[in-house]
Structure 1
Amino acid sequence: MKSNSFWKKLKEYFGVYLPRQRNSSEKTIASCHMAWNLLLRFLLQEKGIPASGLKFESFTSAILTEFLDTMEDRKGWKESTRNNRLSCIRSFFKFAAYTCPEVYTVYADLCTIPLKKGTDNSRVVRHMPKDAVAEIIGCTDADTPKGLRDRFFLTLMYDTAARDGEMLQLKLSDINVDNSTICLFGKGAKPRLVPVSKETMQMFSRYKSLFHNDSKKDCFLFYTKHRKEKTPMSDDNVARFLKKYAAEARTRNVHVPDNVHPHMLRHSRAMHLYQNGMPLAMLSEFLGHEDPETTLIYAYADTEMKRQAVEKASKDLLTANIKDDSPIWESQDIIDQLLRGY
């Protein structure tokens, strides 16, 4: 075995090249380690190739594609995982080809395997269920000035499905108390009039008495004080307090996702309105979309959610009594044995 050039080169790759010459991170080495363990187990145990018979030319694009397809089917690899494993395997052959010219033909053959394209996520809308939104807003402390400001900001943002930039540009005069509407200025400074709920208007009354008791009408609705001067609130400030409340809410409600951002409130409100029966044409006007086609993402997302729910229910039913047939040799660490004197 020690005279086999393939095994010698593989040991050099993991023992010298990655950690010392290339100075790869532990994460990169672990990823390559995993990829090669899976591939070697597949060849030795599943394909029945003896270790002494493994040579550079044993690795063809056909057999590597078979391995990737098998793992994708058995382990449910996503496209990104499959592509990562393929890159880890090919990187070894690229390394070997530098000192062993005969390996270059093998490397060139493996390079013909295309990376797998992922699912088109351009129409995927990340949004939250109503209980998650309520949990986040509920984490604000309305008994403190700052907490009241944050609660009103998040409530108004969700209620009107406003963009972050639209919220930060609001002036005190943009809210009409008489007819409970707000004037938002969207992309291209295009104005649109949006109705505001009675509950949100009541919160505005309390917020105004605390933050705008003597303000002029052209004062920014949301502001921070810097050297006693009122300055417009920044989008960084909004992202910061939303992240804080979302993290707290996540400990109470599993439906609160990771990486909650301000625009997710807009998506969530739009999705909830659509699910409650608001026609797409009206929703498009409510959101201030210049192109009504843009609003179709909510119809697609709602349909996709229903489809995934049906598929999951079917899968759970059909696979309930299926045993796991994963090979018992999947825990064997071949690379570790090689480095310790395989």
Structure 2
Amino acid sequence: MDGLERHITGFFASYLPGARGASPNTMSSYRDAVAQFLGFCSARSGKGAERLGMADVGGAALEGFLDHIERDRGVSVSTRNQRLAALHALFRYIQLRDPAWMETCSEVLAVGKKRCPPPRVGYVSIEGMRAILASPDPSAPTGLRHLAALSLLYESAARSQELIDARARDLTAGLSAIVLHGKGGKARAVPLGREVRAILARHIEASGISGDDHLVPGRHGRLSRSGLRHVVESHSAAARSAGADVPAHVTPHMFRHSRAMHLLEAGVNLIYIRDLLGHASVTTTEVYARANPEMRRRAIEGHSAGIAPAGVYTDAEKADLLSWLKGMDW
């Protein structure tokens, strides 16, 4: 493998978890991308994966792989670009550690992303979100646990994994805030409203959790991503069946989008929304403003108001003006 196997081992065993502090989800995503690429290169060259060399995994191979997964496997442009980002990370790692791979790495890194339309931000209206949160029955242990998960997911705008990883000790005294541990090990404190604090207090007392216990456990131990998705889907379906305006397909991540949209519609500054979401740059947060046509309309109308003076012309002057316009020889 001309050292490729050794570099891949170092990349996954040391660099990603150590220097980069990559999350398990990132590790899995990168692993899948590299495995798929090696499998494609193996089939393309007729060699076993263990015999692949520099000439087999260069820029031409990468371009062929990206076209293959988009055309033949039906992945989206966004997924194609995610696979490319993972492979770029691997070959940047190799480039800095092995001069013999310099040319191959340069070829790979020269392969650019494919342009794709801006992502559509799916979210639930405030009325729809109220209906979803009203669906669980807090008088039953399962209903109270579901209500705690859904209300905290919305209030904190947490990513699925952040909610799953949250522990009782991550709540501040008085439950006024929760510390979420996000991508790259970054932590952020998110304030919690009075109603959510009351729900969490009742949930904690009923379940007896404390310290390192997971804040929102699953039915049989730790809550899984599929378990959280099931909770969201089941109560969204119940709200929809009751006549609420809830999209046909609601995901846990849409709770995050919904919280950001609702804050934006309420006039909260993008800087504060950025901090709530844990974005590194406000540019990432601006996708919510661009995705909301009502916000754009109000902004344009607000900045346009008062520019055209009212009552400048009398009715007689307006008639004269119209006659003049009609008589213009264009």
Give the TM-score normalised by structure 2.
0.53
The letter for the 2-side match of 1:296 is: E
2:165 paired with 1:169: yes
**Which residue of 2 is the match for residue 256 of structure 1?**
246
Q: 2:279 aligns with which of 283, 289, 293?
A: 289
For residue 306 of structure 1, report the CA deviation from its aligned partner: 5.2
In 2, the alpha carbon distance for the partners of 1:225 and 1:174 equals 21
Aligned 1:146-157 pairs, distance under 5 A: 146-157=142-153
**Which residue of 2 is the match for residue 222 of structure 1?**
216
2:183 paired with 1:187: yes
For residue 176 of structure 1, report the CA deviation from its aligned partner: 1.0
**Which residue of 2 is the match for residue 128 of structure 1?**
124
Q: For residues 204-225 of structure 1, what are the alpha-carbon distances to aligned partners after superposition, in whole Å with 9 as ceiling and x for unaligned?
A: 111011112xx44011112135
Does the aligned pair in 2 maintain the 1:136–1:249 contact within 8 Å? yes
In 2, the alpha carbon distance for the partners of 1:143 and 1:216 equals 21
2:218 alignment partner, SS class: strand
Does the aligned pair in 2 maintain the 1:123–1:300 contact within 8 Å? no
**Which residue of 2 is the match for residue 277 of structure 1?**
267
1:178 alignment partner, SS class: helix
**Which residue of 2 is the match for residue 209 of structure 1?**
205
The letter for the 1-side match of 2:154 is: Y
Does the aligned pair in 2 maintain the 1:160–1:195 contact within 8 Å? yes
Structure 1: segments with no counterpart, 5+ residues: 1-118, 311-342
For residue 305 of structure 1, report the CA deviation from its aligned partner: 6.5
Query: CA distance change for structure 1 residues 252 and 225 in 2, over 3 Å: closer, same or farther?
Result: closer
2:227 paired with 1:237: yes
Does the aligned pair in 1 maintain the 2:270–2:285 contact within 8 Å? yes
**Which residue of 2 is the match for residue 144 of structure 1?**
140
For residue 304 of structure 1, report the CA deviation from its aligned partner: 6.4
For residue 263 of structure 1, report the CA deviation from its aligned partner: 0.4
Report the aligned-residue RMSD.
2.2
2:292 alignment partner, SS class: helix
Residues paired across the two proteins, number? 185
The letter for the 2-side match of 1:199 is: E
Runs of 4+ in 1 over 6 A off after TM superposition: none
Structure 2: segments with no counterpart, 5+ residues: 1-114, 301-330
Q: For residues 112-159 of structure 1, what are the alpha-carbon distances to aligned partners after superposition, in whole Å with 9 as ceiling and x for unaligned?
A: xxxxxxx96524211111010111111111110000000111011111
For residue 247 of structure 1, report the CA deviation from its aligned partner: 1.1
Higher relative contact order (CA 8 A, sep 6+): 1
Task: Quote the sequence identity (%).
Answer: 33
Does the aligned pair in 2 maintain the 1:132–1:253 contact within 8 Å? no
Q: For residues 29-48 of structure 1, what are the alpha-carbon distances to aligned partners after superposition, in whole Å with 9 as ceiling and x for unaligned?
A: xxxxxxxxxxxxxxxxxxxx
**Which residue of 2 is the match for residue 324 of structure 1?**
none
Does the aligned pair in 2 maintain the 1:270–1:283 contact within 8 Å? yes
